[in-house]
Amino acid sequence: MQFRETLVALFAVAMLGSAAALAQPATIGQAYEAEKAAEISTAKLQLATQSGSAAIQELNDAESALRRLGQARTAEQRRSVAAELEMAITRLKLAAGTGSGQR
């Protein structure tokens, strides 16, 4: 039960951090995209070391959101897709971390 509570707490912290970061009027540009691509690559490496990982869907969601971010044109669209990307990466990181049996 403690694992579940920790997981929920991590998810809540990630949500608050993402919302605070996206609430700022900062431009979501190429540097942001590069940073998120690096986070996805890091999680992908973690998944590669796990046998039979169940996080493939999360990986696909994160990569899809990153592609959509690159295709978004208006600032409003980019902010919306960036929020989706943040959540997808958070789910990916949780799946990559918990998939290795760490409790």
Model pLDDT for residues 38-52, shown as the tens digit of each residue: 999 999 998 888 776
Torsion of the alpha carbons at 36, 22, 83 and 68, rounded to the nearest 10: -60
Residue type, 29: G
**Residue 94 structure tokens:** 């949780």
Average pLDDT, rounded, for the chain: 80
Q: How far is C-alpha 36 from the chain's CA centre?
A: 8
Residue, of 67 and 14, whose pLDDT is higher: 67
pTM above 0.75, yes or no: no
pLDDT value at residue 96: 85
